[in-house]
Structure 1
Amino acid sequence: METLQKLGRMPIALTVPAFVLLLVVFGVPIVQLFLTSINAPAFSLANYHAFFGQPSNVRVLYQTVEMSVVVTAICLIIGYPAAYLIVAASKRVRIALTVLVFIPWLTSGLVRTYAWIVILGDHGLINNLLLNIGLISSPLELVYNRSAVYIGMVHIVLPMMILPLLSVMLGIDKSLMEAARSMGARPSAAFWRVFFPLSLPGVRSGTLLVFIMCLGFYITPAALGGLRDAMLSTFIAAQVSSSFDLARIATSAFILLGTAAVVLFMLGLDLSGNQGIAVQSTRASRRSKLPSLGTLTRFLRELAIPYRAKRWRSQLYRTMGDGSWWKMVGTVFVVLVVFFLLFPGVVVIIMSFSAGAFLEFPPSGFSLQWYHAFFNDPAWYGPAWTSIQIGIVVAILSTIVGTLAAFGLSRTFPRLRALLTMLILTPITFPVIVVGVAAYLGLVKLGLIGTISGIALAHSIGSIGFVVVIVSATLANFDRRLEQAAMSMRAGPLRTFTRVTLPLIRPGIIGGAFFAFIHSFDEVVITSLVSGLSLRTLPLKMWENIRNEIDPTIAALASLLVLLPVLWLAALYFTWWRSRPTAQLTRPEPATT
């Protein structure tokens, strides 16, 4: 009891387990990687000179940045109007569309990559359709090229662009747009002068998340691209599996990490919107340095005042019938975006019931043969059971450690909380291949390479970040006066936490546990580095099968993994729904007279 009271007075101590795990598995090895890259203790840049001295390395680095920029730009062009239209929809439609965007994000990236192989392959959906119609005489080369890589990468990271934009746009006061319109501003002017600057934090967050994730892409370019579409992460993974030249690996990893750091420095990650205000003030100060141009602009605006006033009076009471066309265009656009996100999963589910010897769409008959093949083949259900075991261990460990860390961070000073939170989230903000190499070095020292415990520890350093984010968001809406009321009635810290705090934040804890499990169950890159040769998880088995031969059994497995996020969301919803009566019972009843 005295220990709990001391922890109550020092909540920062609750973050110690999380930081110990991060330091041992990730922090110390990443420092070791950096020192190796600069030839410590000699401290030279010879490794970096050697990297940039080879034209092939420079070409791969340029290609990595180029592909990441292109994918990020495509996601921004598609994601911003999609998020804007989703926010403008009614509440029920908005919730439904958000869930439909959220489901693909939770679906295995390996499954989505496999789905595009099925759709774009020589005997895939598109080529078969065109051949049957008679538009082509031989299959088109739709896969194993740069275009296929772009399609697959955009499909995987597009939800990561839309979701941050949605969170920011939902917080924008719509009355500001109405005020701008009442002052005579055109819809386009009101959007660009009012709404867009306020949405810039979401643009920065989505752009940064998508770009950094694209830098670490390994599976999708290797599966959908050709030899000319290799990225730096593929180069690092090849070095790890072949020569394991630690100096070259460390140099390549920190060049990739430095690229991400440069983008982070350029964009920043301020969600408060102050950067947008700062940008506007900077532009205003620049315009003030050009008095002649400013005078001419003001003169032209004064000349246009009578025309603008007349136009405003004429349109003030005009009906909005002309907006039906744009509303229809927006509806079609959102439907196409959702169709793009969901269609590959639907194709895989339908093809998994094929009765033929090969996958075909539409199936010639209905059969469960591929599901029977999965559940009756130890080569498939063995790795699946291994992945389930690892996922359960990761979920338990990450939930306990992450919840303690979130609880401690919520009761520390804001500046210290921001710094510690950034450190905990480092493994999910770094390129995944860099995290994998660091985790490999950390587990080598612990002697846990090729063990379930080692893989679970490697997965946990990222899963803890997800738990901290979700539980912290739940604690942000928690009324601490309930704890104070319990303590005033002589309840101890442990009893207060178990009887008051824990029931109210339980949905966040359960959500964090589900996120941790799914993150572990779907992990491929880190697992491929730390699993050794004797242990195979289900994603690794799928990846080997995709690279060597397309076994139709994988379609049945992929369909099960597509349905997993739906079951997860349903379980989370019912958990939250069942927790509502508990939350309502803890609220004080209003006084009656």
Structure 2
Amino acid sequence: MKMLQKLSRMPIVLTVPAFAVLLVVFGIPIVLLFLASINAPAYSLINYLMFFGRPANVRVLFHTVEISAVATAICLLIGYPTAYLIVVASKHLRAALIVLVIIPYLTSGLARTYAWIVILGDRGLINNLFLDFGIISSPLPLIYNRMAVYIGMVHIMLPMMILPLVSVMIGIDRSLMAAGSSMGARPFDTFWRIFFPLSMPGVRSGSLLVFVICLGFYITPAALGGLGDAMLSTFIASQVQTSFDMARVATAAFILLGVAVAVLAVFGVDLSGTHGGTARLTKNTWGSRLRSPVAMKRRWGEFVTPLRAKRWTAQLYHAGSNCDRSNLVGTMFVVLVMFYLLFPEFLVILMSFSAGKSLEFPPSGLSFQWYRSFFCDPSWYNAAWVSIKIGIVVAVLSTIVGTLAAIGINRTLPRLRSFLMMVILTPITVPVIVVGIAAYLGLLNLGLLGSSTGIVLAHTIGAVGYAVVIVAATLANFDRRLELAAKSMRAGPLLTFVRVTLPLIRPGIIGGAVFAFLASFDEVVITSLVGGLAVRTLPLKMWEDIRHQIDPTIAAVSSILMLLPVLSLVVLYITWWRSARGARRLFINTPT
């Protein structure tokens, strides 16, 4: 009994519900998949040899890595200057730009993919404009090719590159660059030798996140690409849906997982959420090695430093035109990036009010006919209602479990904290198709395949990660002395949590619930694997209609999904504002 009471006081016990769900639905099945891939208990590599012995499989794997790497490189080339320009902007402009990046980040990936079908299709916006102006006589092949895949994937993944970069760049001390400039360094040298090395953690985190998620892409390549653009996730999904050969599916899934793990192991990523080790992280990067000059270069630098100082002094009061030109170029670049991120969504929303029999831009008239079609068609609103119910249950379950886990992780030792966080984030840091296959096997063993309960559990293993990250970020700024003060006044642990801790971390809890709901509501890949034909959610209904027929009702559905992030941000802002006002009132009324 004393042992149980002692264990109950340990913070790590709070993580048990989260890890129990993760273990049953994902952990044990992934081990079983690995055993199936090596033909346990015979233990042979015949399945892997058979996979690599087929040129078609190797070609698909190569295309998967190639497409993911190119999409990641494009996101980095666009995202890095965008993040830098956002950080150097004024405070209010920076906040507005970050919100404009977050909106597409929270928007349904399926809806954004549909937007590019509307733009790039044979009867899409671009081809229709060119045909109307007589520039072309027949539609251009803008869709069902590799370029369309890159356009769609970069559009979806670019916010995931920008946000980590902005997070790291904001924490860089700008006085370091000012000090470099004061010693005669040119702007490019100041950026390359000071700012860029310090931003490398953001570059690494954003690139790894984008690359690993791209490895598991299924919807966008299938909707925008051709037969030669199929990725390994498409191969795995087709195997599950046609003839489920456990050994072949497990082998392909672990090869894809192996690529992701190898990249993560080589480059590494800090999931602990701390920024105190920035200098330590950047010491061994290739960027820091580039900053180590050879002796001849050092001597040359010593020789030209006085000349640079004189030139810097001479140009100090004559750089206005260059600054104005740089500001103009930077402004135009940010505007183009925001246009690329937001215009497809705005276009679909505008076209959803078209009065014609098909989608057209500009609309010949305004009408709510496609919205009426959505609300009057049982197949559409029933699917939407199923998604809402599943999303609410997932949000409630993942928020409760994730909040407990975040509190437990926050109060453990730092080394154990990093490990626990890495484990709980595994379902959202590995290719989603691998998570779907593991969940499929886990729910098959539990007898929950093709049920709403099974879908809820499958969605929860990923949604818990979002809840833990957001609540943990809120707890990082929480003052534990407030809890100690409450306990010193004879408040019990439960009363202290309800009256002190909960009100102060409420914004993080609500934020975690919102993210969990959006993640569940937009899920397609895992739902298609574990739901089967028994449960039809709104994203699955949309995906079926996109593949078989371009029903204009999809534009109305996509518009509704695109408005969800805006409403979510409004809810989060109101929650944060009320919490901040309550905290100020609490501290004002607290006697000193």
Choose the corresponding residue for 2:285, options 279, 282, 291: 279
Cα offset for 1:450?
1.0
**Matched letter for residue 35 of structure 1:** L
Correspondences of 1:395-406 after superposition (within 5 Å): 395-406=395-406
The alpha-carbon deviation at position 92 of structure 1 amounts to 0.5
Deviations 1:230-275 (A, max 9, x none): 0000000000001111101011001000100111122211363223
- Secondary structure in 1 aligned to 2:138? coil
- Structure 1 residue 534: Cα displacement: 1.7
Q: Does 1:123 align with 2:129?
A: no
C-alpha displacement at 1:445, in angstroms? 0.9
Q: CA deviation at 1:172?
A: 0.4
Range with bigger deviation, 269-278 or 84-93: 269-278
Shift of 1:4: 11
Q: Deviations 1:43-78 (Å, cap 9, x if unpaired)? A: 111111100000000000000000001000000000
Mapped to 1, the partners of 2:456 and 2:387 lie a distance apart of 10
Q: Identity of aligned pairs, percent?
A: 69
Q: Distance in 2 between matches of 1:103 and 1:566?
A: 7
The answer on whether the counterparts of 2:185 and 2:308 sit within 8 Å (CA) in structure 1 is: no
Instruction: Name the CA distance, whole Å, in 1 between partners of 2:12 and 2:365.
Output: 61
Report the counterpart of residue 102 of structure 1 in structure 2.
102
Contact 1:181 1:190 in 2 (8 A): yes
CA distance in structure 2 between the aligned counterparts of 1:209 and 1:78, rounded to whole angstroms: 16
Which residue pairs with 1:62 in the alignment?
62
Match of 1:392 in 2: 392
In 2, Cα distance between equivalents of 1:399 and 1:283 = 43
Once the two structures are superposed, the pairs formed by residues 473-512 of structure 1 within 5 Å of their partners are 473-512=473-512
Summarize deviations over 1:312-352 as a string: whole Å, max 9, x none. Answer: 33134445332101100000000000000000100100110
- For 1:154 and 1:422, how far apart are their aligned partners in 2? 26
Q: Distance in 2 between matches of 1:280 and 1:557?
A: 46
Question: Structure 1 pair 412/128, CA: closer, same or farther in 2 (3 Å)?
Answer: same
The match for 2:452 is 452
Instruction: Spell out the pairing of 1:410-489 with structure 2 (5 A cutoff).
Output: 410-489=410-489
Cα distance in 1, alignment partners of residues 452 and 504 from structure 2: 33
Aligned partner of 1:29 in structure 2 is 29
Q: Give yes or no for contact 2:402–2:464 (8 Å, CA) kept in 1.
A: yes
Cα deviation, residue 305, structure 1? 3.6
Aligned-pair CA distance for 1:585: 2.8
- Residues 60 and 232 in structure 1, CA contact (< 8 A), matched pair in contact too: yes
Alignment of 1:147-296 (within 5 A): 147-270=147-270, 272-273=277-278, 274-279=280-285, 283=289, 294=295, 296=296
For the 8 Å contact 1:7–1:14, the answer to whether it is kept is: no
For 1:12, the aligned partner's letter is I
Aligned twin of 2:358: 358
Structure 2 counterpart of 1:345: 345
Q: What's 1:330 paired with?
A: 330
Residue 588 of structure 1 and its aligned partner are, at CA, apart by 6.1
Report SS of the residue matched to 1:205. Answer: helix
The Cα offsets for residues 22-41 of structure 1, whole Å up to 9 and x where unpaired, read as 01000000000111111111
Q: Which amino acid aligns with 1:514?
A: V
Q: How many Å separate the matches in 1 of 2:113 and 2:233?
A: 17
Secondary structure, aligned partner of 2:285: helix
User: 2:397, 2:290 → 1: CA distance?
Assistant: 51
Equivalent residue letter for 1:110: L
- Distance in 2, matches of 1:259 and 1:366, equals 49
Q: Secondary structure at the match of 1:450?
A: coil
Distance apart, 1:284 and its partner CA: 8.2
1:419 & 1:507 partners in 2: Cα distance?
A: 25
Query: Which residue of the partner structure matches residue 370 of structure 1?
Result: 370
Cα deviation, 1:119-169, whole Å, max 9, x if unaligned, reads: 001111001111111111111110111110100000000000000000000
Q: Deviations over 1:76-103 (max 9, x none)?
A: 0000000000001001100000000000
Q: How many angstroms apart in 1 are the aligned matches of 2:324 and 2:43?
A: 66
Matches within 5 A, 1:61-100: 61-100=61-100
Equivalent AA in structure 2 for residue 491 of structure 1: A
Cα deviation, residue 281, structure 1: 10
How far apart are the structure 1 equivalents of 2:167 and 2:63?
A: 32
What root-mean-square deviation, in Å, do the aligned CA atoms of Structure 1 and Structure 2 show?
A: 1.8
Letter in structure 2 aligned against 1:346: F
- What CA distance in whole angstroms lies between the structure 1 residues aligned with 2:100 and 2:290? 41
Count of aligned pairs: 585
Contact 2:28–2:442, Cα closer than 8 Å, also in 1:
yes
| Distance in 1 separating the partners of 2:375 and 2:3 | 49
Q: Distance in 1 between matches of 2:110 and 2:290?
A: 48
User: Partners of 1:453 and 1:537 in 2: how far apart?
Assistant: 13
**Which one-letter code corresponds to 1:466 in the other structure?**
Y
Query: Counterparts of 1:47-58 in structure 2 under 5 Å?
Result: 47-58=47-58
What amino acid sits opposite 1:252 in the alignment?
Answer: A
Deviation at 1:589, TM superposition (A): 6.2
- Please report the TM-score for the alignment, with normalisation by the length of structure 2: 0.96
Moved more, 273-282 or 393-402: 273-282
Question: What residue number does 1:546 align with?
Answer: 546
Question: AA paired with 2:38?
Answer: I
Distance 1:588 1:323 in 2: 45
**SS of 1:322 mapped into structure 2:** helix
Give the whole-Å Cα distance in 2 for the aligned partners of 1:390 and 1:476.
30
TM-aligned CA distance change 1:77 to 1:285, over 3 Å: closer
Deviation at 1:3, TM superposition (A): 11
Question: CA 1:333–1:282 in 2, change beyond 3 Å: closer, same or farther?
Answer: closer
Distance in 2, matches of 1:196 and 1:206, equals 14
1:32 and 1:86 map into 2 onto residues whose CA distance is: 46
TM-score by length of 1: 0.96
Cα offset, 1:307, TM superposition: 2.0
Q: What CA distance in whole angstroms lies between the structure 2 residues aligned with 1:4 and 1:574?
A: 42
Query: Is the contact made by 1:72 and 1:207 (CA closer than 8 Å) also made in structure 2?
Result: yes
Asked if the contact 2:348–2:559 (Cα under 8 Å) also holds between the matched residues in 1, the reply is yes
Alpha-carbon deviations, 1:541-561, whole Å to 9, x = none? 000000000111111111011
SS of the equivalent of 1:255 reads: helix
Deviations 1:481-511 (A, max 9, x none): 0000000000000000000000000000000
Task: Give the aligned residue type for 2:424.
Answer: I
1:290 is matched with which residue?
A: none
Counterpart-to-counterpart distance in 1, 2:162 and 2:199: 12
Quote the Cα distance in structure 2 between the aligned partners of 1:219 and 1:466: 22
- Which residues in structure 2 correspond to 1:126-145 (within 5 Å)? 126-145=126-145
> Could you tell me which residue of structure 1 aligns to residue 534 of structure 2?
534
Change (3 A) 1:195 1:404: same
Aligned partners of 2:34, 2:285: CA distance in 1, in Å?
A: 35
Q: Residue 399 of structure 1 aligns to which amino acid in structure 2?
A: T
Conservation of the 8 A alpha-carbon contact between 1:405 and 1:468: yes
Is residue 450–residue 534 contact of structure 2 (8 Å, CA) maintained in 1? yes
Q: Which AA in structure 2 matches 1:167?
A: S
Return the letter of the residue paired with 1:440.
Y
Equivalent residues of 1:8, 1:493 under 8 A apart: no
